Every structure is written in C-alpha cells, then in structure tokens.
Amino acid sequence: MLTVLPINAYQDNYIWCIQNPLSQACIVVDPGEAQPVIDHLEKHQLTLVAILVTHHHYDHVDGICDLVSYTQQQTGKSIDVYGPLNPKIKQITHPLKHGDVLTILGTLYEVTEVPGHTLDHLSYFSPEDSLHSAPWLFCGDTLFSAGCGRLFEGTPAQMLNSLKALASYPLETEVYCTHEYTLSNLAFTQAVLPNDTEVKLYIERCQTLRDSNKPTLPSTIKTELAINPFLNCTRPDVQASVSLQSQSPITDELDTFTRLRKWKDTF
C-alpha cells in the first residue's frame, strides 16, 4: 500500500512524500527545499522517481534542481518532473494541462487547473484504488483546511470556481494542502461563524494535534464542507456575517466570496 508522509520545510510548509514501502520508490509534491527531502530519502532508504508541482511559487519549486541532481548522482537516472507549463519553472519535464491523467507508482492522478492563487495552479486527484484506501487530493495553495489561498494572480471568480471544483470530489477524499495554516484559518472562521458547533469542535481537535506537534492535515472534503466558510458562500449565516462586517447587503455567492476573501486578507 502507498503511504503519504509530510516532510517539514520552511516555517510551515509540508512537502508530501508518496511512498511505496515495498519498492522503496517515492514521489514528492511541491519540494520548496531539497535538504529536508534528501534527509527523508536517506533515513527511509527511498528512491525518488518523480516530482509533482502545483504552481511556481519559490516555496514549492526551489528544491527541484538539487533533488534532480541528487537523484542522478544516486541512481544514474533522471526523474520526471510534472507541473504547469510556466517559464518560471524551468525544471518541468512533463508540462500538464487540465484533464491530463498520470500513472505513477501504479496509481492514477487526474490533473485539474485551479487558477486563483496563481494562474498556473494545478491540483492532483487520485481516486481510491487497490494501493490506497481513500481518494487523495494534492491541492497546493488553492484549498486550505478552513481557508483558501490569497489571490496573487487570479480573480475571485476564478478562485471560487476552482474551490467548487475541488469541493465536488468524494466526501472521503483526503485533502493534502501545503501549509500548516489550519489554526490561524480557524481563528478567522470563528469570527465568521462564532456560534458554529462543528467549528468549535474542529478547533479543539486541531489544537490537540498541534499541542502534540502533529499535523492537522490531511483534512477531508467532508470536513471542509462543514467548516470552511470559503466553500459555503451560499450559507445564510456566512452571508449574514459577511454583510454585517462589510456593512452592506450581499448580492450573490461571488459577492460573498469576494468580500470574505478581502476580510481574511486584513484579519
């Protein structure tokens, strides 16, 4: 069975390592730093066979060159680097577009374009199969637990559509985003939904994990639909809270999302 383990990088990044404990082969997702990955490979005697990239920001790509060189030195073989077609990521060997399907380590990954945080942002969805018992979603900085990414390049409409696409995956889908932002996102969520019981329970659960120095991730689509305000811009209580904060009536779902994201930017 394939397993997914977090490799800590920078202050709050996770580089996800998808590994096969039988073959000792692995994939990493968004390696912003090389040395933590190399340390993980050597500790667990793993061989890196591919890299998946969601978008071009430095904390997701800056480790690629050193990892390619390291693997070449260790195995004498080049590795596949999958990601968006973007001149800012010169190491990509397999540029991807919406609808592409990959097979790596015996399992499928469906590629979806999810612009908003950046225009080149991709996500990778792996349906449940014989190698892992729940669907996986590697979504970079588009969807966070209890939050979503800032709009550095895209529009609110693009990000809302991207989030709705991700939220349409099966409820049991495990959500692997790339930052440990959950508690700070939940502080904002509680400001939006101060009386929501599920939010309060989720805060308690995540605080317990962090107190034990454990990741709050992966989340699931089911959890995010219950507690993430950015996935619930048609909920009357979310709309009422946003309307009160901005002191003007809400017009529609996109208006709610736009104001919600602006509110979070200054929270």
- Full residue range of the structural domain in which residue 189 is found: 3-265
| DSSP code at position 118 | S
Task: State residue 99's pLDDT score.
Answer: 98
State the angle between helix axes of 182-192 and 253-265 in degrees (0 to 180), rounded to the nearest 10: 120
In CATH, what number is assigned to the domain containing residue 88? 3.60.15.10
Task: State residue 64's pLDDT score.
Answer: 98
Tell me if 55 is assigned to a ligand binding site.
Answer: yes
The per-residue pLDDT for range 56-93, each reduced to its tens digit, is: 999 999 999 999 999 999 999 999 999 999 999 999 99
Task: State residue 166's pLDDT score.
Answer: 98
Q: Indicate the residue type of 72.
A: Q
| Residue linked to tokens 């540029």 | 95
Instruction: Give the N- to C-terminal CA distance of the chain in Å, as an integer.
Output: 42
Task: State residue 93's pLDDT score.
Answer: 97
Percent of the chain with pLDDT over 90: 99
Burial of 160 (0-12, 13-18, 19+ CB in 10 A): buried
Q: How far apart are CA 178 and CA 57, in angstroms?
A: 12
pLDDT, averaged across the chain:
97
The per-residue pLDDT for range 235-256, each reduced to its tens digit, is: 999 999 999 999 999 999 999 9
Instruction: At 79, give phi and psi (nearest 5°).
Output: -115, 155
Task: State residue 26's pLDDT score.
Answer: 98
| Beta partners for residue 96, in sequence order | 84
Task: State residue 168's pLDDT score.
Answer: 98
Tell me if 141 is assigned to a ligand binding site.
Answer: yes
pLDDT-based confidence at residue 138 (cuts at 50, 70, 90): very high
Task: State residue 109's pLDDT score.
Answer: 98
Q: How far apart are CA 102 and CA 108, in angstroms?
A: 6
What would you measure as the largest C-alpha separation in the chain, in angstroms?
62
Task: State residue 171's pLDDT score.
Answer: 98
- What's the number of domains the chain is made of? 1
The predicted model scores a pTM of 0.97
Task: State residue 225's pLDDT score.
Answer: 98
Find out whether 89 and 83 touch, Cβ atoms under 8 Å.
yes
Q: What is the mean pLDDT of residues 143-170?
A: 98
Tell me if 56 is assigned to a ligand binding site.
Answer: no
pLDDT-based confidence at residue 129 (cuts at 50, 70, 90): very high
Question: What tokens does 263 get?
Answer: 């509110």
Q: What is the mean pLDDT of residues 131-154?
A: 97
The per-residue pLDDT for range 187-239, each reduced to its tens digit, is: 999 999 999 999 999 999 999 999 999 999 999 999 999 999 999 999 999 99
| Beta partners for residue 14, in sequence order | 8
Distance of CA 97 to the CA centre of its chain: 18
Instruction: Using DSSP bridges, classify how beta strands 136-140 and 174-177 pair: parallel, antiparallel or unpaired.
Output: parallel
Find out whether 26 and 20 touch, Cβ atoms under 8 Å.
yes
